[in-house]
Amino acid sequence: MDFQSFVDSYGMAAAVISVEKAENGHCGDIRIVRANDMYKQIMGPNYRDNMVYSELIPKEPNFEEFCYRCAVNKQHLHAYVDTKSMGVWTDGTYVPLSPEFDTEKLYYFLFFFEFTKAPESEKMSDISISTAPFVIQTCINLRGSDNFYDSMNKVIADIQDRTDSFCSCIIMIDRTNQKYAPLCSKFRNDEACMSDFMPYITPEVAFSWEETLAGRDNIIIKDDYDMGSLEKENPVWVKSLRDAGVKSLVIAPLSQGKKMFGVLFITNFNVKRYVEIKEFIELTAFFLSSEIASNDLMERLEYMSNIDSLTGIRNRNSMNARVDWHVKKERLVRTPFGIIFADLNGLKKCNDNGGHEAGDTLLKNAAELLKKHFGDYEIYRSGGDEFVIIVPDCDKNEFEQKVQALRAESGDNSNVSLAIGASWSDDADNLRYCMHLADEAMYADKNEYYRLHPDKAR
């Protein structure tokens, strides 16, 4: 076949591209075999026939994945993406050529495209039938609630479900002030929570994302081969991913103009739906960026890093900082003080029977009950279904009466059932030990609850 005459027949930038199939089942060289004049003009004077594409533009793993799928697997593909390395949006179509042109190692496809300087709604709406309903649902959720955090929680839950991922989350980043914090998250396993994985997201890791994502619309890791390629660029990050048990990953920048203010982070997703998920995530990240930027969340990053977005009370990071301040005598908890550990009974059964929304409602109700009795004090959500209360400057009898009142309203027959442990001390050096005693007492109370209620197995 005369490839030159073939591409010359197209009225937009077009080229026949070859993909070398490596022995490991991944791409070898990807070469521009023949291109029409429009394609050559866009690529500039350095273009020559049969050149490796990365001699003209930076290597792009997602582009290479599409090239392989089109040429080797004979998939017809389309993508409208923000090509950050060139400062344009690219509307590209990948058309497989007949297998009769292929050789044992080389496979061919036609690629044609056009650029737009800014995203165009008509082109963005040209998406697959399977993806469209979910993108529409995302937009409805973003605009369908007066409570921004409720909207974000709904969207991230939809993303987790859509991608069949272990974890989907949004992490806000303020590199100027060296701060970062999760905005919302959803896990496949209800016993997991974001605080379990934040130790793996060190400042060195979080602040490396912007550089690694530079020039890309996202990074998608499907397997060990992709992970190894990423490791060459960012070994510290890959080590943290492996330590956290991450096998596959999608990370997309959230930005306003050229400034990245966060990432959409998805781990252990359904890699069999790579093309569908890539399309869905690219559009979703675009709409999320717009919505988050309009809420001016960067000014609230400090608030977010200390507040649990579901319940509105302080989170584990805030609690750890509070204890550290006391131990270092930077900001003491006034003595005498009381400590309460409270663990929500029956959350798993609630999730199993009523779904995750029912479980979230139960957690919110538990937080409201704690605020009702200890709203003037420091209340923390320290884990998935665990809460801690620090009550400073309190008389022992008064403290015990407050604990008893909480027990009375959170017993077996209550809408919110809590396992409760409490400890009191008048020694400032005993804060951590006092927390340990309250924790042990809470677990003893919880074990007794499940002994009496075996039907509500944890």
In total, the chain counts a number of residues equal to: 458
Highest mean pLDDT among 34-48, 82-96, 351-365: 34-48
Residue 136 is predicted with a pLDDT of: 67
Model confidence at 304, pLDDT cuts 50, 70, 90, reads low
Cβ–Cβ under 8 Å, residues 361 and 307: no
pLDDT in tens, 113-135: 998 887 777 776 666 656 666 66
Cβ-based burial of 179 (10 A; exposed 0-12, middle 13-18, buried ≥19): middle
What is d(CA 151, CA 147) in angstroms, rounded to the nearest whole number? 6
Please tell me the least confidently modeled range out of 16-30, 135-149, 156-170, 253-267: 135-149
CA distance 60 to 79: 14
Judge whether residue 443 has pLDDT over 70.
Answer: yes
Over residues 371-381, the mean pLDDT reads: 92
Q: How many helices (H) and strands (E) in the chain?
A: 18, 16
Asked if residue 30 lies in contact with residue 58, where contact means CB atoms within 8 angstroms, the answer is no
pLDDT recorded at residue 125: 64
pLDDT of residue 86: 74
CB 271 within 8 A of CB 222: yes
Q: What is the pLDDT of residue 458?
A: 53
pTM: 0.64
Interior/surface letters 66-100, b for 16+ CB within 10 angstroms, e for the rest:
bbbbbbbeeeebbbbbbbbeeebbbbbbbbbbeee
Confidence of residue 46 (pLDDT cuts 50, 70, 90): very high
Burial of 448 (0-12, 13-18, 19+ CB in 10 A): exposed
Tokens 């697959």 sit on residue = 128
pLDDT, tens only, 385-431: 899 999 999 999 999 999 999 999 997 777 899 999 999 999 999 99
Residue 76: phi and psi, rounded to 5, are -85, 120
Cα–Cα dist 217/229, whole Å: 17
